[in-house]
Amino acid sequence: MISKRVINQFKKHKLGVIGLWIVVGLYIIMIFSDFFAPYSYMTTHSNVTYAPPSKIHFFHDGKFMGPFVYGFKKERDPVTFLLKFEEDRSKIYKIELFVKGEEYNFYGLKANIHFFGIKVDPQETMILLFGADRFGRDIFSRTLVGSKVSLTASLLGTAISLLIGAIMGAISGYYGGAIDVLIQRFIEVLSSFPRIPLWLALSVILPPNWPSTWVYFGIIVVLSLIGWTGVARVVRGMTLSLKEKEFIVAAKVSGVKDMKIITSHILPNMSSYLIVVATLSIPGMILGESTISFLGLGIKEPMTSWGLLLKEAQSLTEIAVHPWLIIPGFFIMISVLAFNFLGDGLRDAIDPYRTSEKV
Amino acid sequence: MSNLTSFIVRRLLIMIPTMFIISIICFVITELQPGDFLSQYLDNPRISPEQIEALRNELGLDKPAHYRYFLWLKNIVTKFDFGYSFSYQRPVFDLIWERMGWTIGISLLTILLQWLIAIPLGIFSAFNQYSFLDYMFSLIAFIGISLPEFFLALVLMFFALNSGYMYIGGLFSPDFLGAPWSFAKFVDLLKHLWIPLIVIGVSGIGGLYRVMRANLLDVINAPFITVLRARGLNESTVRKHAIKNALNPLVSIAGMELPNVFSGTIIASIVLNLPTIGPFFYNALLNHDQYLVMSFLMLIAFITQVGNLLADISLALLDPRIRIA
């Protein structure tokens, strides 16, 4: 279990601690994403289609003003006929905190206070930290709100694969014999497929006319159907060694039912290892969701996720003309990195002999 | 040796029922897809429902699922015929075979690159544990593991475009596409090739580096290394022994490497427009080209099985401590 020794050991792992703080930060931002986002993630603004990220200034004509953005004017490039956004230095919009803006739905409550923003009608000028997409939606807001899908799908997917994996692994290790052979063969067959083709093939099964929420849960099922085998393998190995221990034998002799032994004696005894396995499988889930959505087989508009946001940047032309479309990708990278750090630190603290290495 | 031979024979025999179960899984997965190849024509006003029915009959899609499955299986076993692609109107086997060249070529090159970079760096890091460079490499390896392939591809394309680099996407410049092989064409290929190799290879490099470093650290602290030192062997000989022992377990990773890199090419090829089997598989999935999808999944599963078997065999040959049960 998580003891003082484990906590002290974890604190020594600097990258692990950094990972933990980043993960905590990401989830706080995720929970309040609609509030931190300066605009509603769905509202389109035709005046700012493909507007580049706004620059934040502090000095106007050498005078300190605090953080502000200039307005913009649009011009057509005489050669390429592309719209160009130029800063209009005559208009100054101060960045303020707790600004009234576009209405959003905050877990059932209608709200319109945003953490920061500029006090001007968005149809006129917007503060676009990451630029705007082809519908003039604020990519920064969409990235923040997109974390809801990317960060919760991976968590739920891990929870389900942990559940399936723990049960299958424990049954396989505890009973042994024919059941064990059967489950192990099945796991072997499933792991004969590399993950990416299987992700794609399974996510095509989700009907295209499903509503977004169903697709979201469908993807979670797809991810966990593939993810549980690694957990099952670790749990089986640990069950094999645990079931010979005296306290399990004692429970058996006293007539405790098999299922009761598994659920209240075997699995709780490996809970700390399960935490490590779970943390280390989250990055794969995040990558899975974003890969599926990136290829257009996952989350669909108007919902948003990090993978779906990057889908906009799929062509060479987009990268050349609107490079800011790839910014959401850094969030995938940072969250995966943070979970990897955290998992590594937890493993070193809980499991110094690395029984949970192979997931 | 006879022990090993019987092991190989047994494993090969097990592969037959395993591949049979895999074929069922492949069929069920493709069968569960909503609609079939002809659904895309349903909305097309130029094609009448009667024509679709006729086509369905012609393609055999009106038969019940189990009938189609066993027919497919029978043709594989008796005629080595993996079925017919609906959209290409050609045998699936030929279609996959044509695209295998680049896929295998790029995969093998990537694996070579991964081992050439990751192993020496892992060895260096283990012998210089807690040094500045060790920390740097470990951090970079972590980032490499955490980068989604498609994102890395987009970022590299962005930097390449911004620096005015012309050789992005595909494997050849348009001038060389149909041209016969020449030195200039080869150079052109190399200019295109490095971006895909990095994109496909980076996560593998990071993973391999970490395993190599951890393995070697375990070996360095093993008692037999202390014994070697106590006997007065010079440091370079000790290191040689340590590295040799740390490399052995990597063989089992090598078995999984080919199928992993192979499937890694799928995403990279879609983003970077490479002529591998990846985009082909993706399109077949979207078009419900059932036999193509099934055969491709079967192929990848088969490669994994063979890779694992080869890894086990070479591990047994390399490491006398491993007994084959």
B53: pLDDT strictly greater than 70: yes
Strand partners, A227: none
Asked if residues A20 and A97 have their Cβ atoms less than 8 Å apart, the reply is: no
B61: pLDDT strictly greater than 90: no
Token digits of residue B63: 């038969």
Greater confidence (A35 vs A46) lies with: A35
* Contact with chain A for residue B293, Cβ under 8 A: yes
Greater confidence (A217 vs B316) lies with: A217
Token digits of residue A286: 């995040």
pLDDT digits (tens, 9 = 90+) for A93-123: 888 899 888 888 888 888 889 999 888 888 8
* Contact with chain B for residue A323, Cβ under 8 A: yes
CA-based nearest distance A335→chain B, Å: 9
A146: pLDDT strictly greater than 50: yes
Percent of chain B scored above 70 by pLDDT? Answer: 98
For A192, which of B22, B149, B168 is closest by C-beta distance?
B22
* Contact with chain A for residue B311, Cβ under 8 A: no
* Contact with chain A for residue B173, Cβ under 8 A: no
What does pLDDT average to over chain A? 89
A2: pLDDT strictly greater than 70: no
Percent of chain A scored above 70 by pLDDT? Answer: 97
B66: pLDDT strictly greater than 70: yes
Asked if residues B266 and B282 have their Cβ atoms less than 8 Å apart, the reply is: yes
**Structure ipTM:** 0.88
- Chain A residues near residue B21 by CB distance under 8 angstroms: 185, 189
Cα(B278)–Cα(A246) distance, rounded to whole angstroms? Answer: 53
pLDDT digits (tens, 9 = 90+) for A5-25: 888 888 888 889 999 999 999
* Contact with chain A for residue B263, Cβ under 8 A: yes
B129: amino acid identity, one letter: Q
pLDDT digits (tens, 9 = 90+) for A343-352: 989 988 887 6
Cα(B296)–Cα(B249) distance, rounded to whole angstroms? Answer: 30
Q: Does the distance separating the beta carbons of A341 and B145 come in below 8 Å?
A: no
Measured between alpha carbons, how far is residue B125 from residues A336, B70, B213, B223 in Å?
23, 54, 6, 21
Q: Determine the number of helices (DSSP H) and then strands (DSSP E) in chain B.
A: 12, 0
Asked if residues B294 and A210 have their Cβ atoms less than 8 Å apart, the reply is: no
B319: pLDDT strictly greater than 60: yes
B321: amino acid identity, one letter: R
* Contact with chain A for residue B154, Cβ under 8 A: yes
* Local structure of A45: helix, strand or coil: coil
Token digits of residue B269: 């090829």
Model pLDDT, residue B323: 63
Model pLDDT, residue B324: 57
* Contact with chain B for residue A182, Cβ under 8 A: no
- List the one residue out of A231, A225, A224, A226 whose CA is nearest residue A267: A231
Cα(B81)–Cα(B257) distance, rounded to whole angstroms? Answer: 28
Cα(B162)–Cα(B155) distance, rounded to whole angstroms? Answer: 11
B42: pLDDT strictly greater than 80: no
Q: How far apart are the first and last CA of chain A?
A: 20
For A197, which of B151, B214, B266 is closest by C-beta distance?
B266
pLDDT digits (tens, 9 = 90+) for A182-204: 999 899 888 888 888 999 999 99
Q: Does the distance separating the beta carbons of B281 and A200 come in below 8 Å?
A: yes
Interface of A with B in 7-66 (CB under 8 A): 15
Q: For the residues B297-304, what does the mean pLDDT come to?
A: 89
Bridging pattern class, strands A83-106 and A63-76: antiparallel
Confidence bin at A359 (pLDDT 50/70/90): very low
Range in A68-77, A93-102, A350-359, B135-144 the model is least confident about: A350-359
Q: For the residues A203-223, what does the mean pLDDT come to?
A: 90
Asked if residues A176 and A237 have their Cβ atoms less than 8 Å apart, the reply is: no
Q: For the residues B24-53, what does the mean pLDDT come to?
A: 80
Range in A342-351, B19-28, B226-235 the model is least confident about: A342-351
Instruction: Give the other-Cβ count within 10 Å of B74's Cβ.
Output: 11
Q: Give the start-end residues of each E strand in chain B.
A: none
Model pLDDT, residue B115: 93
Model pLDDT, residue B251: 82
Percent of chain B scored above 90 by pLDDT? Answer: 31
Confidence bin at A293 (pLDDT 50/70/90): very high
- Chain A residues near residue B301 by CB distance under 8 angstroms: 189, 192-193
Q: For the residues A32-37, what does the mean pLDDT come to?
A: 93
Dihedral of CA A333/A339/A340/A341: which sign? positive
A289: pLDDT strictly greater than 80: yes
Model pLDDT, residue A353: 64
Range in A39-48, A144-153, B171-180 the model is least confident about: B171-180
